[in-house]
């Protein structure tokens, strides 16, 4: 998760807890538009957790994928939002999360409309906040980063930063010079996160 800026000198110190993660702030914009559909899905996820836990969650996830495959373009983003809700519980296995993210990344890189690609990236961002995703799973987003418009690029940068993988650092650093100020702000936040990971790794190696 993200935190407020800290110091990189000497022994690495994790930035202070309390700031809202940048990738969650981006996602909140989308979630604020979901209204009754969001409340209904949240109730369904809560019920699944209370009644049958993991098995019910995986059933909800499979149902959302099936609906996604069969619904028209106007509802595909809602199906992806439902997938994000399941990922948000943090109760899937790491393998479940990776398989879901692989499919989400494919959709995010497709030629579908903006709402669908945004929903896919939002769900991926949610997964990146609740699971440790291998960089290789989201690397296709890094390769195609220059092709995303600013709003979607904010998600991509957040996802890359959440991997804590130093392979993402040069990709994210490129966007410190992006013409859009919000992209530069998100890039700076993610660079701090990745640099903290680098310094932390060096500290562990020196012990």
Task: Look at residue 118 in the predicted model and tell me its pLDDT.
Answer: 96
Closest CA to 38 of 93, 80, 101, 82: 82
Could you give the CA distance from residue 146 to residue 69 in angstroms, rounded to a whole number?
Answer: 28
Residue 17 dihedral angles phi and psi, to the nearest 5°: -75, 145
Mention the CATH class of domain 22-201: mainly alpha
Is the pLDDT reported for residue 5 higher than 90? no
What's the rounded mean pLDDT across residues 4-19?
33
- pTM, to two decimals: 0.78
Binned at pLDDT 50, 70 and 90, residue 44 comes out as: low
Closest CA to 154 of 180, 128, 127, 115: 180
Could you give the CA distance from residue 169 to residue 179 in angstroms, rounded to a whole number?
Answer: 19
Binned at pLDDT 50, 70 and 90, residue 128 comes out as: very high
State pLDDT tens for residues 73-90.
778 999 999 999 999 999
State pLDDT tens for residues 163-190.
999 999 999 999 999 999 999 999 999 9
Q: Where are the domains of the chain?
A: 22-201
Closest CA to 127 of 149, 150, 95, 168: 95
């Amino acid at each position: 998760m993200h935190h407020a800026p800290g110091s990189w000198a000497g022994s690495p110190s994790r930035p202070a807890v309390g700031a809202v993660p940048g990738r969650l702030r981006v996602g909140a914009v989308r979630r604020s538009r979901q209204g009754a559909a969001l409340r209904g899905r949240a109730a369904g996820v809560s019920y699944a957790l209370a009644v049958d836990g993991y098995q019910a969650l995986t059933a909800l996830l499979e149902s959302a994928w099936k609906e996604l495959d069969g619904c028209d373009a106007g509802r595909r983003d809602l199906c992806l939002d439902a997938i994000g809700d399941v990922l948000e519980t943090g109760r899937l296995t790491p393998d479940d999360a990776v398989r879901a993210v692989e499919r989400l990344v494919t959709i995010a890189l497709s030629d579908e409309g903006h709402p669908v690609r945004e929903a896919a990236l939002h769900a991926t961002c949610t997964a990146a906040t609740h699971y440790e995703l291998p960089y290789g799973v989201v690397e296709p987003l890094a390769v195609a980063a220059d092709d995303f418009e600013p709003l979607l690029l904010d998600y991509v940068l957040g996802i890359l930063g959440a991997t804590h993988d130093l392979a993402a650092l040069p990709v994210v650093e490129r966007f410190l010079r992006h013409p859009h100020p919000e992209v530069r702000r998100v890039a700076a936040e993610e660079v701090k996160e990745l640099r903290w990971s680098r310094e932390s790794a060096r500290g562990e190696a020196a012990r």
